[in-house]
Every structure is written in structure tokens, then in C-alpha cells.
Amino acid sequence: MKIPSNYNVLKAVKEYLLMTVGLLIYSFGWIACIKPMEVAAGGGTGLSMIISHTASEMWGSDIRVGTVFLLINIVLLILSGFTVGWNFGFKTLYCIVVASGFMALMEPYFLTHYPPVGDVIALDDKLLTIILGALLAGAGMAICFSAGGATGGTDIIAKIFHKYWGVPYGKVIIYTDILIIGSTLLLGYSLSDVIYGYIVTVVVGTTVDLLMSGSQQSNQIFIITADYDRMSEAMLHEANRGVTLIDATGGYSSTQTRIVMVVCYKRDAGHILRIARDIDPKAFITIASVSGTYGEGFRKLTQLH
């Protein structure tokens, strides 16, 4: 039996801690900001809020959002298991259970502390409150995703549609959210509540995209130096980045040399430059933004849809 190293244990602890913090922020955004405004919303959490609200208004049943969220995801995971496969991983289960738990704990507290207008944050503006909630929910999701977690919901539906009908994930999620939010008109929600719901969906999605792309965008760095062997070794062993050596000839001097090419995440570019400076302060360096990076050390090509 292989015993996990201290590094792997610390890495796992960090990931689960990040996921927990992200899920706490995510749950707070939905329960403390969006739910009190009683607007329609998409995704698994939005559907849970709609079901909870409808059960309360039509049948007088007090079904909490966290409970509905958990039940919906259990059904979807079972469906996914029989159709796509039982490979969703422990992190997905962890995120679903923890998010449900946070919602279940928060909802009774905020129910007893809602002001008469339902504005827990006291912004005195419905639009600002739901935008704040959507920003928090999106930020929480981004933190969770960055640690390898997933919040389930419509993502599971998207996976099923992609496997059997080849529909891109993004389209399934967008169409599902449109359908969920639009259908609330049949359940007594007003048109303005539906519009607010679409605003929530856009803000959540945009926030996730901005935060995730901000941490994943890459730089392509060209380092021209006479000491390219030493520079290459430093990038491999000190920066822990792959290196490509490109044969080159100086246009003015006709000197044969090699360009050290390094591709890294933008957040690591400063570290790369400091190492290059220490090796050769006179090195000529160019940095270019890269819109997409796939392969070893980055996003896998198999993740493209």
C-alpha cells in the first residue's frame, strides 16, 4: 500500500480547505442575498430555490433549499452514474454535501433575521443585492473549481447531453438555465423576477469565467542569452517549467545562438523573470500573452469539448 507523502497530504488539505471556503461564500451568496429577493434563478441551486419557494407558496410545505439541493444532486448523480459512468469523484460528492450543509445551516438563521423587506445585507436595492449575491456565488464557485471541486447541478445534465448527443457543455448549461428560469412564469413568478434571474445567471457565469481565466491565462516568454544552457537548466530545476530551445541567428551579428522559450501561467511570469535576471542580467526577453495553452503541465487536450 502506497503511503501518501507529506506534500500530497498538505496539497489535499489545502484543496479541501479552499473548496470549503469557496462553498461557504457560494452558499452565503445564494441564501443571504439572492433567496431573500425571491427571484427566479438557474442552475441546481436556482432550481432548488424555485422548488422550495413553490412548495411553500402552493402547498404550505417548509422544504429548505439545502435539502432540495442535496436531493436534486443525488438524483442527477445516480442518473449520471448509469449513463455516463461512476467517475464523478469524491470531490464532487464532498462539494455537494458541504454546500447542502451550509445552506441548511444558513437558511434557518437568516429566516429569523430577515428584515420586513427581506434585505439581509441592507443595501436597500433589489438589483444591487442580487448582483452582490451573484458575485459572491460566482467567486465561491471559482475558488471551488480552482481546487478541483464541482457543485453538480446542471453540470451533470450537460455531461449526459454531451456524451449522447455531442452538445457542447456551455450550450446545455445556458439552455437549461433559460428553461428553468423561463418556466417559473407558470409558477406565479413575475416577469421582473424572471429578468432578475437571468441577471443572476449572467453575473455568476461572468464572475466564474473572469476569475478562472485570470488564474489560467498564460505567457510565452522568449529569452535570448549567450548562456542558454545555464538558463535552460535554471528554468527546468528552479522554476519547474518545461523549456524549448529554438535555434536562431542574429540578424546583425550573424551569431548562432538558441532562444530559451518558456510557457507559464501569468501568475508565474514574475518568478521566471527573476530567475532569468539572476542568470544573465543582460538577457533580451520578450513576453507575449497566450490565449490558450494545452498539453503537459497545462489543460489537457482531452478536456476540449
What's the whole-number mean pLDDT along residues 174-188?
Answer: 90
Per the model's pLDDT, the better-predicted residue between 158 and 176 turns out to be 176
* Buried/exposed code over 56-81 (b: 16+ C-beta within 10 A; e: otherwise): eeeeeeebbbbbbbbebbeebbeebe
Query: What pLDDT, on the 0 to 100 scale, is given for residue 29?
Result: 94
Residues 202-212 have a mean pLDDT of: 82
| Section 246-274 average pLDDT | 88
Where is 138: in which H helix or E strand? helix 126-146
**Residue 269, pLDDT score:** 85
Residue 164: pLDDT over 90: no
For residues 35-55, average pLDDT: 90
| 235-239, 249-253, 295-299: least confident range | 295-299
CA distance 70 to 183: 22
- Architecture of the CATH domain 219-303: 2-Layer Sandwich (3.30)
Among 54-68, 101-115, 228-242, which is the least confidently predicted range? Answer: 101-115
| pLDDT at residue number 305 | 43
Q: What percent of the chain has pLDDT over 90?
A: 42
Cβ-based neighbours of 195, under 8 Å, separated by 6 or more: none
Torsional class of 161: left (φ above 0), alpha (ψ -120 to 50), beta (otherwise): alpha
Rounded CA gap, 177 and 164, in Å?
20
As a whole number, mean pLDDT of residues 165-181 equals: 80
- Say which range, 65-69, 87-91, 260-264, has the weakest mean pLDDT: 87-91
98 closest CA partner among 187, 15, 208: 15
Mean of pLDDT values over 286-298: 73
3-state secondary structure of 54: helix
What per-residue confidence (pLDDT) applies to 168?
66
More confident residue, 124 or 128: 128
Rounded Cα–Cα distance for residues 79 and 262 (Å): 43
Q: Indicate if the alpha-carbon torsion angle 210, 244, 254, 225 is positive or negative.
A: positive
Spatial distance between the Cα atoms of 27 and 104, rounded to a whole number of angstroms? 9
| Residues carrying CATH 3.30.70.120, the chain | 219-303
